[in-house]
């Protein structure tokens, strides 16, 4: 069958025919890197446009519809504008830190791409601690935000960064614990194992109550982790003008902006992989006509469909809810989400031991 | 001549003082101040220790300008004070001049004036509602509020020829008769408004995040509201009865059925609810009047050049933000000797420091939203 994994295997065979294995591997790595950067750019453009169209739809207006057909070229035009703008560095800023911070944000987002399975057998690096790798690397995002906030020498930026630090570190816990629920049920940290375990039904269907709770907590926690409204305290436009990136302009600002959207994509991809079966088509039971019909839809369509559904959910939150206050935000995590996810994890463990899931 | 201002550059260690306190400038250009208000905030972490409003960035000396304008002309300048209730500002000035001239206003003009006032009040509260939600980080309500506000602006445009600074009220009545479409358009608006008003509660008022942000925040006791001179919805949120339309009725307000909206809480949520309920009272007034506009003149006969007798004249009206007083000192000429406006925004702003101390910086923005500050009204 003609699929992404098929293409990847063909390229792999062709390269090994032409070069010796070492060179073939190096060329493959370069190609993978270029593919990630390309995906980055495309996702950035698509997600920004999607956000604007979703916002417009919720806010009873039209949204961008002038540049290109249906406004499709709008984000290209915006990117062009951001590239030609001056990337100013403030006089009092810590110049090295100030200029490195946006790149760290980008690098973190790029690293997170590695263990994501975009389609059947199409994955950059199927490492055996895939999910742990994601949770570990995504915590590094806070470093770039703190660097940006501190080095800007601006009180608004500093406050935004400090808020963000408290917020991301707190919500990491809930996100991690809700991911643990799935790991307990699957018994593996490897992304491909987790997906194959959902061959006879996604975890959201066969995991019962604990998985539903974990899914809701995961969505709340990652919304906070990616600094999206209603948890956008790091930016908090009406309070801190633009929070940690107040002093950034041009492409340096664009990198933060892009990293935010890529992070949204990644957390939604992880959510889709863990709870909604990743690229796995909708299956009920094993080997029946319904499953075969579902298999006709390409696996990449399933993956991106689920991911974009979750992205839409997070965008919906942003354009509907008011923002929380910092103390309410931390109360929500430490007094409600964390205890609930701990009890939920115990429930899930009991369920896994007793074999109550399908 | 160009005057160079000394720029003090702080190096990094100076960002926070030794006591841990630091000051932060909110404004003159800041998304939360909705204008050129400048607040110097002393903070300890996220907690507010002091708020110091600095005024004057949009001071146009309207009071002084009025002294060189005739009694017909000066009314137009006052549209630019509280631009969201331009009609009501004009109304207050027209009332002051009429008091001096001892003019009888035809009943038709009175009804049209009250209708316009109440439409303005609804439009102003709509904008406030959207801006308030935006202060709290929700963008969508702003657009929903503008949907209804636009139809009011269209009605204004048809009858007055302007959408924001109408200049429709003149001494003796209104400038011209209402547009033939006026009654139909207002009824259409009422229908639209009643279909959509529940969305306000669904989207914002009932939201748990919103209620947690508003309740028990920025508590203003009735005594403080009186001693700081708060008026309008700000004071009524603390259960201080101060509706000028009830206490000192002007035009035909004493013949109308409407309630003075009072809330007990004194917190941000009470002030919010006062405005939401006040919109419904305004709609009630419009419904009573829209089918009962009497026939007759829309303007009393006045001389071409108005001259007020020697003396002092004071009138007050209820704008969307509170009590607006107009004080005219006349020496008997064609222009006022002195004019003083008692604007509601100025007194309401003065209470900000009192209610904001000890709360978080996010709450300050919410409180500013509930005070409904219009900066040109404060500075004039």
CATH of the domain at B310: 1.10.645.10
The full set of domain ranges for chain A reads 89-354
Helices A338-354 and A208-225: crossing angle, nearest 10°? 140
What pLDDT, on a 0 to 100 scale, did the predictor assign at position A1? 52
Chain B residues touching residue A60 (CB < 8 angstroms): 143-144, 147
DSSP, residue by residue, B124-149 = HHHHHHHHHHHHTT--HHHHHHHHHH
User: Is this complex scored with an ipTM above 0.90?
Assistant: no
**Residues B42, B116: one domain?**
no
**Residues B277, B201: one domain?**
yes
What pLDDT, on a 0 to 100 scale, did the predictor assign at position B4? 44
Q: What is the dihedral of CA A125, A126, A131, A135, to 10 degrees?
A: -10
Helices B107-135 and B86-101: crossing angle, nearest 10°? 150
User: pLDDT by residue (tens digit) across A210-236?
Assistant: 888 899 999 999 888 888 878 887 777
Other CB atoms within 10 A of residue B314 CB: 14
A272 close to A303: Cβ distance less than 8 angstroms: yes
Chain A residues touching residue B204 (CB < 8 angstroms): 322
Beta bridge partners of B340: B327
What pLDDT, on a 0 to 100 scale, did the predictor assign at position B19? 65
- The whole-angstrom separation of Cα B330 and Cα B187 is 42
End-to-end CA distance of chain A: 30
The answer to whether the Cα torsion of B349, B353, B354, B357 is positive or negative is: positive
For chain B, the residue count is: 380
**Residues B153, B249: one domain?**
yes
What pLDDT, on a 0 to 100 scale, did the predictor assign at position B1? 37
Chain A residues touching residue B364 (CB < 8 angstroms): 239
Residue B2 clears pLDDT 60, i.e. is over it: no
Task: Say if the Cβ atoms of B362 and A326 lie within 8 Å.
Answer: yes
**Residues B158, B33: one domain?**
no
- For residue A146, report the phi and psi dihedrals to the nearest 5 degrees: -65, -40
Task: Say if the Cβ atoms of A324 and B213 lie within 8 Å.
Answer: yes
**Residues B24, B93: one domain?**
no
| B21-26 vs A122-123, strand pairing mode | unpaired
- The whole-angstrom separation of Cα B186 and Cα B190 is 6
What pLDDT, on a 0 to 100 scale, did the predictor assign at position A343? 92
Beta bridge partners of B314: B327
Q: How far is CA A205 from CA A199, A215, A256, A282, in A?
A: 12, 11, 36, 10
Q: How many domains does chain B have?
A: 2
Alpha carbon B187 to its chain's center = 25
Residue B67 clears pLDDT 50, i.e. is over it: yes
Residue B5 clears pLDDT 60, i.e. is over it: no
What is the three-class DSSP state of B331?
coil
**Residues B111, B137: one domain?**
yes
What pLDDT, on a 0 to 100 scale, did the predictor assign at position B17? 56
Determine, yes or no, domain membership for B7.
no
Residue numbers of the domain that contains B254: 62-379
**Residues B169, B42: one domain?**
no
A230: closest chain B residue by CA: B137
Angle at B143 between CA B139 and CA B148, to 5 degrees: 145
Task: Say if the Cβ atoms of A60 and B147 lie within 8 Å.
Answer: yes
Radius of gyration of chain B (CA): 22
**Residues B159, B268: one domain?**
yes
Determine, yes or no, domain membership for B195.
yes
- For residue B266, report the phi and psi dihedrals to the nearest 5 degrees: 80, -5
The answer to whether the Cα torsion of B365, B369, B370, B372 is positive or negative is: positive
End-to-end CA distance of chain B: 26
Confidence class of residue B372 from pLDDT cuts 50, 70 and 90? confident
A323: closest chain B residue by CA: B137
Radius of gyration of chain A (CA): 21
Eight-state DSSP code of residue B24:
E
Eight-state DSSP code of residue A289:
H
Q: Given A60, A61, A239, which is nearest B362 (Cβ)? A: A239
User: pLDDT by residue (tens digit) across B222-252?
Assistant: 888 888 888 889 999 888 888 888 888 888 8
**Residues B28, B94: one domain?**
no
**Residues B312, B207: one domain?**
yes
Chain A residues touching residue B22 (CB < 8 angstroms): 155
Chain B residues touching residue A59 (CB < 8 angstroms): 139-140, 142-144
Q: How far is CA A113 from CA A43, A213, A270, A275, B197, in A?
A: 12, 26, 10, 18, 46
Which residue out of A238, A243, A321 would a mutagenesis test of the B interface target, given it has the greatest number of B Cβ atoms within 10 Å?
A238
- The whole-angstrom separation of Cα A204 and Cα A196 is 14
Which residues of B have a CB under 8 Å from any CB of A? 9-12, 15, 22, 24, 30-32, 46, 133-140, 142-144, 147, 203-204, 207, 209-210, 212-213, 360-365
- Indicate the pTM of the whole model: 0.84
Task: Say if the Cβ atoms of A156 and B24 lie within 8 Å.
Answer: yes
Residue B81 clears pLDDT 80, i.e. is over it: yes
Task: Say if the Cβ atoms of A328 and B213 lie within 8 Å.
Answer: yes
User: pLDDT by residue (tens digit) across A49-63?
Assistant: 888 888 888 888 888
- The whole-angstrom separation of Cα A277 and Cα B132 is 41
Alpha carbon B152 to its chain's center = 16
- The whole-angstrom separation of Cα B293 and Cα B288 is 10
- The whole-angstrom separation of Cα B294 and Cα B283 is 19
Residue B31 C-beta-side C-alpha neighbours within 13 Å = 20
Chain B residues touching residue A61 (CB < 8 angstroms): 143
Determine, yes or no, domain membership for B260.
yes
Q: What is the dihedral of CA A248, A250, A252, A254, to 10 degrees?
A: 110
B363: closest chain A residue by CA: A325
Task: Say if the Cβ atoms of A59 and B203 lie within 8 Å.
Answer: no
What pLDDT, on a 0 to 100 scale, did the predictor assign at position A298? 80
- The whole-angstrom separation of Cα B340 and Cα B93 is 11
Which is nearest to A234 in space by CA: A326, A130, A355? A326
Sheet with B47-54, edge to edge strand ranges: B21-26, B38-44, B47-54
Per-residue model confidence as pLDDT tens for chain A (358 residues)? 567 777 878 888 888 888 888 888 888 888 888 888 888 888 888 888 888 888 888 888 888 888 878 888 888 888 888 888 887 888 888 888 888 888 898 888 888 888 888 877 778 778 888 888 888 888 888 888 888 888 888 888 888 888 888 888 888 888 889 988 888 888 888 888 888 888 777 878 787 788 888 999 999 998 888 888 788 877 777 777 777 888 888 888 888 888 888 889 988 998 988 888 878 787 776 667 777 777 777 888 888 888 999 999 898 888 888 888 888 888 888 999 899 999 999 988 888 888 776 5
**Residues B50, B116: one domain?**
no
Other CB atoms within 10 A of residue A66 CB: 10
**Residues B265, B314: one domain?**
yes
Q: How far is B21 from chain A (nearest CA, A)?
A: 12
């Amino acid at each position: 069958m003609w699929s992404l994994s098929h293409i990847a295997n063909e390229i792999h065979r062709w390269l090994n025919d032409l070069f010796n294995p070492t060179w073939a591997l190096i060329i493959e790595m370069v190609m993978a890197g270029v593919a990630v950067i390309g995906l980055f750019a495309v996702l950035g453009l698509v997600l920004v446009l999607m956000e604007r169209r979703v916002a417009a739809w919720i806010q009873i207006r039209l949204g961008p519809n002038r540049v290109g057909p249906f406004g499709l070229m709008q984000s290209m035009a915006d990117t062009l504008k951001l590239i030609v703008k001056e990337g100013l560095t403030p006089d009092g800023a810590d110049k090295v830190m100030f200029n490195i911070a946006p790149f760290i944000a980008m690098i973190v987002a790029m690293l997170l791409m590695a263990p994501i399975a975009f389609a059947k057998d199409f994955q950059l690096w199927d490492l055996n601690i895939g999910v742990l790798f994601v949770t570990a690397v995504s915590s590094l995002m806070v470093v770039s935000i703190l660097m940006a906030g501190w080095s800007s020498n601006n009180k608004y930026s500093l406050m935004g960064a400090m808020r963000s630090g408290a917020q991301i570190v707190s919500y990491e816990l809930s996100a991690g614990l809700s991911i643990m629920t799935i790991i307990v049920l699957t018994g593996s940290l490897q992304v491909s194992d987790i997906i194959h375990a959902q061959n006879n039904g996604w975890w959201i269907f066969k995991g019962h109550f604990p998985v539903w709770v974990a899914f809701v907590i995961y969505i709340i926690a990652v919304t906070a982790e990616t600094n999206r409204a209603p948890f956008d305290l790091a930016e908090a436009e009406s309070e801190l003008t633009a929070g940690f990136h107040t002093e950034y302009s041009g492409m340096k600002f664009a990198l933060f902006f892009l990293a935010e959207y890529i992070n949204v994509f990644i957390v939604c991809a992880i959510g889709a992989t863990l709870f909604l079966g990743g690229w796995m088509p909708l299956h009920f039971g094993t080997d029946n006509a319904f499953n075969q019909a579902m298999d006709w839809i390409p696996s990449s369509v399933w993956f991106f469909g689920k991911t974009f559904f979750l992205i839409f959910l997070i965008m919906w939150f942003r354009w509907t809810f008011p923002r929380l206050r910092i103390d309410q935000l931390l109360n929500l995590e430490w007094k409600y989400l964390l205890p609930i996810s701990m009890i939920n994890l115990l429930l899930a463990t009991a369920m896994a031991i007793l074999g109550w899931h399908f | 001549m160009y005057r160079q201002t000394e720029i003090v550059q702080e190096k990094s260690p100076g960002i926070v003082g030794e006591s841990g306190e630091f000051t932060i400038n909110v404004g003159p250009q800041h998304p939360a101040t909705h204008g050129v208000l400048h607040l110097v905030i002393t903070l300890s972490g996220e907690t507010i220790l002091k708020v110091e409003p600095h005024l004057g960035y949009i001071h146009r000396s309207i009071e002084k300008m009025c002294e060189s304008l005739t009694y017909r002309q000066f009314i137009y300048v006052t549209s630019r004070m509280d631009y969201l209730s331009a009609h009501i500002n004009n109304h207050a000035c027209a009332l002051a001049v009429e008091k001096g001239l001892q003019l009888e206003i035809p009943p038709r003009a009175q009804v049209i004036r009250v209708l316009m006032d109440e439409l303005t009040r609804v439009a102003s509260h709509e904008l406030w509602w959207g801006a308030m939600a935006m202060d709290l980080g929700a963008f969508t309500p702003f657009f929903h509020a503008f949907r209804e506000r636009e139809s009011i602006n269209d009605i204004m445009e048809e009858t007055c020829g302007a959408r924001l600074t109408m200049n429709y009220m003149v001494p003796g009545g209104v400038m011209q008769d209402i547009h033939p479409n006026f009654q139909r358009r207002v009824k259409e608006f009422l229908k639209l408004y009643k279909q959509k008003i529940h969305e306000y509660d669904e989207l914002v008022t009932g939201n748990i995040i919103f209620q947690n942000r508003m309740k028990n925040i920025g508590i203003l006791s009735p005594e403080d509201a009186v001693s700081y001179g708060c008026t309008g919805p700000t004071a009524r949120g603390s259960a201080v009865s101060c509706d000028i339309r009830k206490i000192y009725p002007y035009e035909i307000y004493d013949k109308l059925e409407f309630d003075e909206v009072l809330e007990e809480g004194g917190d941000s949520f009470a002030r919010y609810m006062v405005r939401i309920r006040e919109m419904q009272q305004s709609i009630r007034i419009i419904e009573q009047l829209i089918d009962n506009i009497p026939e007759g003149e829309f303007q009393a006969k006045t001389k071409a050049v108005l001259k007020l007798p020697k003396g002092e004249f004071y009138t007050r009206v209820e704008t969307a933000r509170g009590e607006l007083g107009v004080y005219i000192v006349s020496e008997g000429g064609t222009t006022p000797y002195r004019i003083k406006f008692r604007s509601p925004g100025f007194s309401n702003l003065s209470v900000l420091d009192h209610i904001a101390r000890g709360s978080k910086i996010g709450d300050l923005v919410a409180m500013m939203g509930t005070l409904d500050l219009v900066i040109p009204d404060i500075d004039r």
